[in-house]
Amino acid sequence: MSDATTSQAVRGIDVAGPPDAQPIVFVHGAMFTRKMWAPQRDALADEFRVIAPDLPGHGTWADAEFDLEPAIDALDAVVESEAGGRAILVGLSLGGYAITEYASRYPEKVDGLVIAGSSVNPVRTFDVMTRATGALVRLATRSETLENAVRRLGERWVRNRGLAPEHEREILESGIFPQEFGTPGPDVAGRDFRAKLESYPGPVLVINGENDKLMRSGEDEHAAAGGAEVVVLEGAGHICNLHRPEAFTDAVRRFVRRVEEPR
């Protein structure tokens, strides 16, 4: 475990690393919490200022359902209070869509984007698919039995990743929130995130797991929209930062160092 601390300025946020180093804000995916970034936090905090908040509906914000507008407001509060008003943003899945939305609104506050598992643009066919999937999940998780079953599956998945014991413990103790897999659907569906990415003028890295076929189906178009480099992590699935933590961390480190070079 690093010397990560929980910030008192914004509820549900971990901060680690030198205060004067390049800030990197990590935004988690649906169902998980900020603790899913524990492997990256501990590996990067010697060199960078690593900041990881909880999104609404997750972790310390479990008393509020996810909604994109409050999520963007919360992310802005994190960037202002913990990153000095500018940061590189890293987001996976739902987090990737959230940081894309944020960068389209506040490009002057974003030094670079790392978008992982977020290459499908939820418009047209994928709009319908996103709404339908969200509705099914919301319906299913009304059953406490089904919700608990999904939670147990998620916990088993984490235990099978071969993570460092302290990281596994952090992730499991922070909780898994199955109902939040369905809640973001109406907020995300129909938004043209590819156009939003195209409007962002800064550097972009797209990361996908080799076996994440859905996200990889939009990989080339998404990368082209952002003028992005693409990194595909061999043998990894959707939650690629935990499937291949070292490889994911290395890709982020290389990207951040390149962003820093002109300074």
CATH number at residue 50: 3.40.50.1820
Q: Look at residue 7 and tell me whether its pLDDT is greater than 70.
A: no
pLDDT bracket for residue 11 (50, 70, 90): low
* Structural domain count, the chain: 1
- With respect to residue 176, please indicate whether it lies within any of the assigned structural domains: no
Q: What pLDDT, on a 0 to 100 scale, did the predictor assign at position 185?
A: 76
- With respect to residue 173, please indicate whether it lies within any of the assigned structural domains: no
Q: What pLDDT, on a 0 to 100 scale, did the predictor assign at position 126?
A: 63
Average pLDDT of span 102-121? 97
Poorest-pLDDT segment among 149-163, 175-189, 206-220: 175-189
- With respect to residue 133, please indicate whether it lies within any of the assigned structural domains: no
- With respect to residue 101, please indicate whether it lies within any of the assigned structural domains: yes
Q: Look at residue 2 and tell me whether its pLDDT is greater than 50.
A: no
- With respect to residue 132, please indicate whether it lies within any of the assigned structural domains: no
- With respect to residue 155, please indicate whether it lies within any of the assigned structural domains: no
Q: Look at residue 189 and tell me whether its pLDDT is greater than 90.
A: no
Average pLDDT along the chain? 90
- With respect to residue 236, please indicate whether it lies within any of the assigned structural domains: yes
pLDDT bracket for residue 135 (50, 70, 90): low
Give me the domain span that covers residue 89: 5-120+192-260
Output the DSSP codes for the chain: --S-EE-SSSSSEEEES-TTSPEEEEE--TT--GGGGHHHHHHHTTTSEEEEEPPTTSGGGTTS---HHHHHHHHHHHHHHHSTT-EEEEEETHHHHHHHHHHHH-GGGEEEEEEES--S--STHHHHHHHHHHHHHHHHTTSHHHHHHHHHHHHHHHHTT---HHHHHHHHHH---GGGGTTTHHHHTT--HHHHHHH--S-EEEEEETT-HHHHTTHHHHHHHHT-EEEEETT--SSHHHHSHHHHHHHHHHHHHHHHTT-
- With respect to residue 13, please indicate whether it lies within any of the assigned structural domains: yes
Q: Look at residue 6 and tell me whether its pLDDT is greater than 70.
A: no
44-92, pLDDT tens digit by residue? 999 999 999 999 989 898 888 888 999 999 999 999 999 999 999 999 9
